[in-house]
Amino acid sequence: MILIELLKAILLGLIEGFTEWLPISSTGHMILADQFLQLDVSERFKEFFLVIIQLAAILAVVILFFKRLDPIFHKQSKKQRKRTWMLWAKVLLACIPAGVLGVLFDDWIDANFFNPTVVALMLILYGVMFLVMEFFQSVTEPKTTSVDKISFPLAFGIGISQVLSLIPGTSRSGATILGGMLLGASRPVAAEFSFFLAIPVMAGASLLKVVKLGFVYSLNEYLILAVGCVCAFTLSWFSIRFLMDYVKKHSFAVFGIYRIVLGVIILAYFALA
């Protein structure tokens, strides 16, 4: 039995790692995956598992961009160190809207919006928005082409767009990337800033849930958790590198189409179930 649960943990970790950083909604994929890969564990541990593998995914961002984000332990010029601190100030400013509303309404949002219909509709809506955004980007030049040139107003605007990601199915990366592009950032800039923004936002939200859930679980459950975390971290690493290379030469249109197709599949599946 434990072998079967470990195989499920591997698949769930891979799904989390692959979908968390792409603008395609990890929540939508996890809802579908849960229909076929239901872990034979308590509901409390299942929620704990999903939270912790998300933290493993965040760790991939921290390690990949450590030199870029670290103003203390790496040798930097005074100018470089100031630039890094300014980047963190912008990231933290962008965290405020979703952070405040998330703390106040997280449980209410989960109770009222965490269902397949809402997730599917948000997948489709943002899929259409990505296609529309790409049309306009094809005829206009982005104003901000470097993360270091992101202004504080732009950072705060991206933070406001991140509020919409509190609705399941929107996709945190999808909301922030689309918001950044709408406000004049290039695709690579919007994607990179989205990764940085994920660190405090996702880590904070995950740690709050971990405190609520506690740490009292069996040895087998912790083994399942460890396997899921390794898979989530590993595939997150490759997903982030893939997306950063992809957006330099390609548009987000394929992700928009994928979202629409996935949303339709979820609606059809649960309508017929």
Could you tell me the residue ranges of all domains in the chain? 2-272
What's the CA dihedral at 175, 46, 6, 267 to 10 degrees?
Answer: -50
Residues 6+ apart with CB under 8 A from 243: 21, 22, 191
Give me 146's structure tokens: 């470097």
Q: How many CA atoms lie within 13 A of 268 on its CB side?
A: 7
Strand partners, 24: none
pLDDT at residue 125, rounded to an integer: 95
Report the residue count for the chain.
Answer: 273
DSSP state of 146: S
Q: Which residues of the chain have pLDDT under 50?
A: none
Helices vs. strands in the chain: H and E counts, helices first? 11, 0
pLDDT at residue 36, rounded to an integer: 83
Angstrom CA distances, 119 to 8, 48, 57, 167, stand at 23, 21, 21, 8
Q: In whole angstroms, what is the distance from residue 181 CA to residue 158 CA?
A: 9
pLDDT at residue 236, rounded to an integer: 95
pLDDT at residue 27, rounded to an integer: 81
pLDDT at residue 9, rounded to an integer: 94
